[in-house]
């Protein structure tokens, strides 16, 4: 029996039907004997075979119609048990009618108290059918439980209906061995559900040691729970792998597929309380408007597209220079929002005439400017590219916003613009300064002269310029988490620049939620900063990602420290020391009070930067950037010499010597 069950073979359905018929007939016979007190002579004279044969025929028809024989006995569940009760009950209801019509009326047979036999038979027949199914299922479970091989021993977090559904869905095959449920509710501990014991979370250590637990399964909905986070941390320490399943309403055709099981992502460990935004306020701002999103194919830009489309805009223009990535987001959005008016525009924000086409044709009312170069080491080696894209490109989009009277311009900035130590961060800070100055520039003034020579405020022609500033986003293109995942898949090592390096992290969806909220509340000229929570050690991130993969750090996967990269600093900041913040109506959004610069001054500075870029003089370019952003102090970079020159006022020859340009 054990070998047959584990072989995966199944008994033909007609055999199951005959077995059920045999059980039914035997049960009725026994009930008949009990009512007749086992007086065999009287039983045989009392038309036993007529009564039994008629009941067997009725039961056969009922069981066949209710498809009792079609399910695999080894996978029987509570629904199958109810169907058995129902079938026996229906047979008991039909039988007296059949006896009255056939035996009593047609053949004048009156030798049996049918009601007593049916009452006894109901309990015996139901019990025997259920015993058969639970017995086969128990044998199968025990056989599967004690087999050796690649099967993983699994616990399920929780013991509610969702946990039971997962158990029924996942443990019908040979992939896993079910070891029980894990609970935090002491009232449920030590109880038994679906042939599984309920353990307390404190038992995890003992279960790992004695039962060799490999996996804990958690429903995605439970991840934000504080108790769940504690259990996850305990599993990581014990080396228990964690898998997640989607909510039951997302199961394919109502069934959970093994393909829907996913490894717990590092993003889940960094989750904070869900961000609550004012959807009605954002909807009122975006609904029926024409929205332009630059960098629409990037990590942040594409999420802005997804969220903006949920607010029913008149048109969404997706602008990017990356053809393949833009095509992919186009296909995704057309599938998810088939009725939306989506316009694709391939173009570089550095090309004024090219970009002007989309402004002329579509007249965007709200602009989310997410296009930028963001990789610190790359921009450290190519500072002119950082200026051309991050500064000049931002200037072009901002200037066109004013020219074509857009209502709002929302720029996506970075925490690296605060006390920048690299070219990328400094370029974003210069872009911030320009965008702020544009808010009150002469051609964007919110005033006009009336006939009497006095000034009247008009808001219809004024573009509001808003900046949002936040740290790293989890899983964005080229970020540390995808890189670590790739290194783990290759067997390591994971490369970390410094053991003490920390970064602020936020998920892409919650960052974009705050961008939309800030963009809605902005009145122009603000730099909004987001509550990024606590900074995270990159080293801890690497360790946890290795553990999440079910591996042991520095045993299965090594961690190698490579040293800080050019322009990189140990700790990121969200606010300059000289800056202050003021709260907004949203607790996670604050306004930074930063130094401002006149539009004419920053315009002249940017024009000079572009001229230097065209000369390809990197040192002169970075030197000018430091003049515009005095707090820009290079770290771990060849441009540190420029800070030294400025501090000690050395001669030109010494400067060239320090830069390696004088032999």
pLDDT tens profile 583-593: 887 878 888 87
Question: What is the number of other CB atoms lying within 10 angstroms of the CB of residue 298?
Answer: 24
Most confident listed range (193-207, 237-251, 474-488): 193-207
Q: Lowest-confidence range among 268-272, 552-556, 636-640?
A: 268-272
Closest by CA to 295, choosing from 362, 347, 356, 364, is 347
Q: In the predicted model, is pLDDT for residue 248 greater than 50?
A: yes
Share of residues in the chain with pLDDT > 70 (%): 79
Residues 6+ apart with CB under 8 A from 456: 447, 448, 449, 450
Is the peptide bond between 493 and the residue preceding it cis, with omega within 30 degrees of 0? yes
The span from the CA of 635 to the CA of 491, in Å, is 32
- Residue 41 — pLDDT band, cuts 50, 70, 90? low
Q: Lowest-confidence range among 69-78, 364-373, 653-662?
A: 653-662
Domain co-membership, 97 together with 109? yes
The mean pLDDT value for 256-262 works out to: 66
Q: How far is CA 626 from CA 296, 417, 622, in A?
A: 31, 13, 6
Running DSSP on this structure, what letter comes out for residue 252? Answer: B
Most confident listed range (20-34, 45-59, 334-348, 562-576): 334-348
437 or 594, higher pLDDT: 437
List the CATH number of the domain containing 361.
3.40.50.720
Q: In the predicted model, is pLDDT for residue 78 greater than 90?
A: no
Overall domain count for the chain: 3
User: Which domain-ending residue is among 214, 240, 264?
Assistant: 264
C-alpha distance across the termini of the chain, in Å: 88
Domain co-membership, 341 together with 296? yes
- Residue 268 — pLDDT band, cuts 50, 70, 90? low
Phi, psi at 91, each rounded to 5°: -60, -40
Burial of 329 (0-12, 13-18, 19+ CB in 10 A): buried
Residue 393 lies in a domain: yes
Q: Are 178 and 37 in contact (CB under 8 A)?
A: no
Q: What is the pTM of this model?
A: 0.66
DSSP letter string, 122-191: HHHHHHHHHHHHHHHHHHHHHHHHT--SSPEEEEEE--SHHHHHHHHHHTTSSSEEEEEEEES-TTTTT-
Residue 324 lies in a domain: yes
Q: Which residue in the block uniquely carries the two structure tokens 């961690």?
A: 559
Q: Which residues pair with 409 in a beta bridge?
A: 367, 465
Domain co-membership, 413 together with 383? yes
Most confident listed range (16-20, 92-96, 515-519): 515-519
- Residue 185 — pLDDT band, cuts 50, 70, 90? confident
> What is residue 275's predicted lDDT score, i.e. its pLDDT?
65
Q: In the predicted model, is pLDDT for residue 286 greater than 90?
A: yes
The span from the CA of 168 to the CA of 33, in Å, is 40
Q: Are 112 and 47 in contact (CB under 8 A)?
A: yes
Domain co-membership, 375 together with 422? yes
Residue 297 lies in a domain: yes
> What is residue 43's predicted lDDT score, i.e. its pLDDT?
65
Share of residues in the chain with pLDDT > 90 (%): 28
Residue 94 lies in a domain: yes
- Secondary structure (3-state) at 231: helix
The mean pLDDT value for 474-493 works out to: 79
> What is residue 354's predicted lDDT score, i.e. its pLDDT?
94
603 or 105, higher pLDDT: 603
> What is residue 342's predicted lDDT score, i.e. its pLDDT?
94
300 or 259, higher pLDDT: 300
Domain co-membership, 439 together with 295? yes
Q: Which residues pair with 502 in a beta bridge?
A: 537
> What is residue 383's predicted lDDT score, i.e. its pLDDT?
94
Residue 356 lies in a domain: yes
> What is residue 226's predicted lDDT score, i.e. its pLDDT?
66
> What is residue 480's predicted lDDT score, i.e. its pLDDT?
81
Domain co-membership, 188 together with 293? no
- Secondary structure (3-state) at 660: coil
Domain co-membership, 131 together with 172? no
Sign of CA dihedral 104, 110, 111, 113: positive
Q: Lowest-confidence range among 258-272, 329-343, 428-442?
A: 258-272
Domain co-membership, 315 together with 442? yes
User: Which domain-ending residue is among 109, 144, 179?
Assistant: 144
> What is residue 582's predicted lDDT score, i.e. its pLDDT?
77
SS (H, E, C) 531-579: CCCCCEEHHHHHHHHHHHCCCCECCCECEEECCCCCCCCCCCCCCCCCC
138 or 1, higher pLDDT: 138
| Residue 235 tokens, joined | 């599993």
The span from the CA of 602 to the CA of 433, in Å, is 7
> What is residue 466's predicted lDDT score, i.e. its pLDDT?
92
Q: Are 310 and 279 in contact (CB under 8 A)?
A: no
Residue 628 lies in a domain: no
> What is residue 449's predicted lDDT score, i.e. its pLDDT?
33
The span from the CA of 632 to the CA of 417, in Å, is 9
Domain co-membership, 323 together with 424? yes
> What is residue 408's predicted lDDT score, i.e. its pLDDT?
94
- Secondary structure (3-state) at 648: helix
Domain co-membership, 413 together with 298? yes
Domain co-membership, 442 together with 427? yes
Q: Are 463 and 469 in contact (CB under 8 A)?
A: no
User: Which domain-ending residue is among 264, 287, 308?
Assistant: 264
178 or 499, higher pLDDT: 499
Domain coverage including residue 107: 2-144
The mean pLDDT value for 70-84 works out to: 66
Domain co-membership, 193 together with 114? no
The mean pLDDT value for 466-483 works out to: 77
> What is residue 173's predicted lDDT score, i.e. its pLDDT?
56
> What is residue 229's predicted lDDT score, i.e. its pLDDT?
75
> What is residue 367's predicted lDDT score, i.e. its pLDDT?
96
- Residue 459 — pLDDT band, cuts 50, 70, 90? very low
Residue 465 lies in a domain: yes
**613 Cα distance to chain centroid:** 41
Query: Tens digit of pLDDT for each residue in 14-40?
Result: 777 788 888 888 888 888 788 777 776
What is the spatial order of strands in the sheet that 366-369 belongs to? 342-346, 315-320, 290-294, 366-369, 408-414, 464-470, 527-530, 589-593, 580-583
> What is residue 114's predicted lDDT score, i.e. its pLDDT?
76
The span from the CA of 72 to the CA of 133, in Å, is 9
**How many CA atoms within 13 Å lie on the side-chain side of 614?**
7
391 or 65, higher pLDDT: 391
Average pLDDT over all residues of the chain: 80
| Residue 296 tokens, joined | 């629409």
Query: Tens digit of pLDDT for each residue in 217-236?
Result: 887 666 666 677 778 888 88
Running DSSP on this structure, what letter comes out for residue 220? Answer: G
Residue 203 lies in a domain: yes
- Secondary structure (3-state) at 33: helix
Residues 6+ apart with CB under 8 A from 217: 154, 155, 156, 157, 166, 170, 242, 243, 244, 245, 261
Sign of CA dihedral 113, 117, 122, 125: negative
Question: What is the number of other CB atoms lying within 10 angstroms of the CB of residue 467?
Answer: 27
């Amino acid at each position: 029996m054990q070998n047959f069950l584990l072989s995966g073979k199944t008994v033909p359905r007609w055999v199951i039907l005959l077995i059920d018929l045999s059980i039914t007939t035997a049960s009725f016979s026994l009930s008949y004997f009990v009512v007749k007190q086992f007086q065999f002579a009287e039983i045989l004279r009392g038309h036993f075979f007529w009564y039994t044969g008629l009941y067997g025929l009725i039961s056969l028809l009922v069981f066949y119609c209710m498809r009792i024989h079609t399910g695999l006995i080894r996978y029987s569940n509570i629904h199958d048990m109810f169907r058995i009760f129902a079938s026996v009950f229906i047979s008991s209801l039909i039988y007296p009618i059949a006896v009255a019509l056939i035996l009593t009326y047609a053949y004048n047979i009156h030798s049996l108290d049918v009601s007593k036999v049916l009452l006894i038979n109901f309990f015996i027949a139901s019990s025997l059918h259920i015993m058969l199914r639970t017995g086969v299922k128990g044998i199968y479970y025990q056989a599967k439980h004690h087999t050796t091989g690649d099967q993983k021993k699994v616990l399920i977090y929780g013991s509610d209906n969702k946990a039971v559904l997962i158990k029924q869905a996942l443990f019908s095959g040979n992939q896993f061995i079910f070891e029980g449920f894990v609970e935090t509710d002491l009232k449920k501990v030590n109880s038994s559900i679906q042939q599984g014991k309920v353990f307390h979370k404190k038992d995890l250590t003992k279960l790992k040691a004695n039962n060799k637990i490999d996996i804990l399964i958690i429903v995605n909905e439970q991840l934000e729970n504080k108790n769940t986070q504690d259990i996850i941390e305990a599993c990581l320490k014990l080396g228990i792998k964690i898998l997640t399943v989607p909510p039951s309403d997302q199961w394919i055709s109502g069934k959970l597929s093994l393909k829907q099981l996913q490894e717990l992502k590092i993003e889940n460990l960094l989750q904070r309380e869900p961000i609550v935004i004012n959807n009605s306020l954002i909807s009122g701002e975006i609904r029926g408007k024409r929205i332009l999103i630059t960098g629409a194919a990037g990590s942040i830009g594409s999420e802005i597209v997804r969220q903006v489309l949920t607010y029913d805009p008149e048109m969404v223009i997706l602008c990017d220079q990356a053809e393949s990535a833009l095509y992919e987001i186009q296909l995704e959005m057309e599938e998810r929002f088939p009725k939306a008016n989506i316009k694709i525009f391939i173009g570089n924000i550095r090309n004024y005439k090219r970009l002007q086409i989309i402004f002329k044709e579509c007249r965007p009312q709200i602009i989310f400017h997410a296009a930028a170069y963001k990789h610190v080491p790359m921009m450290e080696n190519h500072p002119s590219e950082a200026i051309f894209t991050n500064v000049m490109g931002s200037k072009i989009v901002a200037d066109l916003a004013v020219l074509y009277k857009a209502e709002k311009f929302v720029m996506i900035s970075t925490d690296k613009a605060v006390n920048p130590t690299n070219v990328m961060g400094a370029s974003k800070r210069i872009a911030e300064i320009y965008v702020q100055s544009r808010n009150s520039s002469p051609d964007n003034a919110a005033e006009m002269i009336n006939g009497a020579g006095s000034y009247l405020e008009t808001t219809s022609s004024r573009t509001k310029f808003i900046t949002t500033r936040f740290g790293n986003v989890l899983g964005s293109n080229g970020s540390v988490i995808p890189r670590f995942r790739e290194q783990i898949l290759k067997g390591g090592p994971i490369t970390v620049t410094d053991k003490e390096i920390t970064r602020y992290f936020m998920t892409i969806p919650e960052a974009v939620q705050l961008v939309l909220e800030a963009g809605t509340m902005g009145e122009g000229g603000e730099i909004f900063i987001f509550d990024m929570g606590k900074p995270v050690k990159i080293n801890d991130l690497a360790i946890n990602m290795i553990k999440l993969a079910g591996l042991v750090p520095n045993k299965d996967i090594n961690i190698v420290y490579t040293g800080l990269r050019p322009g990189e600093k140990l700790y990121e900041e969200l606010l300059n020391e000289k800056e202050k913040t003021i709260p907004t109506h949203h607790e996670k959004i604050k306004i930074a009070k930063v130094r401002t610069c006149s539009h004419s001054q920053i315009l002249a500075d940017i024009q000079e930067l572009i001229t230097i870029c065209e000369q390809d003089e990197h040192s002169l370019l970075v030197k000018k950037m430091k003049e515009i952003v005095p707090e820009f102090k290079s770290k771990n970079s060849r441009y540190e010499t420029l800070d030294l020159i400025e501090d000690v006022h050395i001669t030109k020859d010494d400067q060239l010597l320090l830069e390696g340009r004088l032999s």
